[in-house]
Amino acid sequence: MTGHRIDVSLGDRSYPIVVGRGVVDQLDDFVPDRARRAVVVTDPSIPFAVRTTLPSLVLHVGAGEDNKSLTTVERLCREFARFGLTRNDVVVAVGGGLVTDIAGFAAAVWHRGTAVIHVPTTLLGMVDAAIGGKTAVNIPEGKNLVGAFWQPQAVIADLDALDTLPERERRCGLGEIAKYHFIAGDDLLALPLDERVARCAEIKARIVEEDERESGRRALLNYGHTLAHALESAGNHDLAHGEAVAIGLLFAAELGRELGRIDRDRVEFHRRVVRSEYGLATPDQIASAALLGPRDLIDFMRRDKKATDGLTFVLDGRNGLEVVADIDPSTVESALRTFFDRPVG
């Protein structure tokens, strides 16, 4: 085998993540022995193909969050039925987080669970979305509200796919890598690309092993995500996920300061990492986010899966990141106003 291999150890749901150039050629090695057919789900705009020796059907899902819907899942499942896909067969998801989330969910519900192999083709997919078994689609009331935990058979992260990645997609991946910077404290930008992707995959794998279903530590992976999901939903996905996460990271620092958990220096550290080192969360993007209005953003946050009576955020503090529940929405609104008024501090 070539490339880096990281194992996600989850008992009978364990699987490898393979990272490297040309590793997609190993696809057949990870197909379950019992599989007789494969359905490849991909986005036609992705210039990256996979080969399998199994009889296969290629299905397309369009780019854009509007396609991440139950309607798409129904269409895929009806195609699975016409192709004769059985529970012993395999779905191969080739694309970014949108494709792996939709195809993963379709595989999770097809015949109550069919194997899926993820072949992420974006940086964001390789370091986050394709790992850990979260699958979901959106409904108009919010993002990722309908889904399932369904661990893949394998994640094959072929770095050749990144050679043609549009700049905006690259920045999105950086948003999630910046998140790992705060979770693990590693200087990930100092590593060459293959080691950086492998290290992020490893950080995520260890967290998923500890807390597969997000009843504890895994929630830290949502750092920056409470505001990010609201920005994406309220703005009809004008901001891509990683761009929204980067803004969410800066806001989480501001909220942490407002709640007395961290001081100005630590907020400044967030700005330095997210802005200066990763080049994300530009003043223009924050200005467009501000147009969405703090009230509407709070409404979307209330519908977040993690919200209880109040709002839930992952926040920095003296002991590192922690999940903080039941935050008064008026405190969040006031922090949002401060943040939008003075985004550069």
Residue 221 lies near ligand GLY (rule: CB under 6 A): yes
Q: Which CB, 3 or 133, lies closer to ligand GLY?
A: 133
Q: Which CB, 79 or 186, lies closer to ligand GLY?
A: 186
Token pair of 296 as six digits: 């509407």
Residue 68 lies near ligand GLY (rule: CB under 6 A): no
Q: Which CB, 205 or 234, lies closer to ligand GLY?
A: 205
Helix and strand element counts for the chain (H, E): 12, 11
Token pair of 287 as six digits: 């200005």
From the list 28-36, 71-79, 126-134, 241-249, the region that binds ligand GLY by CB under 6 A is 126-134
Determine which residue in the list 132, 224, 294, 343 makes contact with ligand GLY, applying CB under 6 A: 132
37, 68, 179, 229: the active-site residue: 229
Q: 322-345: buried (b, 16+ CB within 10 Å) or exposed (e) per residue? A: ebbeebebeebbebbeebbeebee
Q: Per DSSP, what are the bridge partners of residue 146?
A: 137
Determine which residue in the list 37, 68, 118, 134 makes contact with ligand GLY, applying CB under 6 A: 134
Residue 128 lies near ligand GLY (rule: CB under 6 A): yes
Q: What's the closest the beta carbon of residue 322 comes to ligand GLY, in angstroms?
A: 16
Indicate if 65 belongs to the active site.
Answer: no
Helix (H) or strand (E) holding 20: strand 15-20
The widest CA-to-CA distance across the chain, in whole angstroms, is 59
Indicate if 225 belongs to the active site.
Answer: yes
171, 225, 270, 275: the active-site residue: 225
Q: What's the closest the beta carbon of residue 214 comes to ligand GLY, in angstroms?
A: 6
Residue 314 and residue 196: Cα distance in Å, rounded? 24
4, 37, 118, 134: the active-site residue: 134
176, 202, 254, 258: the active-site residue: 176
Question: What SS3 class is residue 216?
Answer: coil
204, 257, 271, 275: the active-site residue: 204
Strands (E), 55-190: 56-60, 90-95, 115-120, 134-139, 142-149, 154-158
Residue 104 · residue 118 · CB < 8 Å: yes
Among 88, 99, 90, 83, smallest CA distance to 27 is for: 90
Indicate if 60 belongs to the active site.
Answer: no
CA distances from 148 to 162, 225, 331 (A): 28, 19, 32
Q: Which CB, 89 or 214, lies closer to ligand GLY?
A: 214
Residue 316 lies near ligand GLY (rule: CB under 6 A): no
Q: What's the closest the beta carbon of residue 314 comes to ligand GLY, in angstroms?
A: 11
Residue 297 and residue 293: Cα distance in Å, rounded? 6
Q: Which residue is closest to ligand GLY by CB? A: 221
Indicate if 111 belongs to the active site.
Answer: no
Residue with tokens 């967030």: 270
Indicate if 229 belongs to the active site.
Answer: yes
Residue 218 lies near ligand GLY (rule: CB under 6 A): yes
Q: Would you please indicate which residues are annotated as catalytic (active-site) residues?
A: 112, 134, 176, 204, 214, 218, 222, 225, 229, 241
- Interface residues with ligand GLY (CB under 6 A) are 128, 132, 134, 218, 221
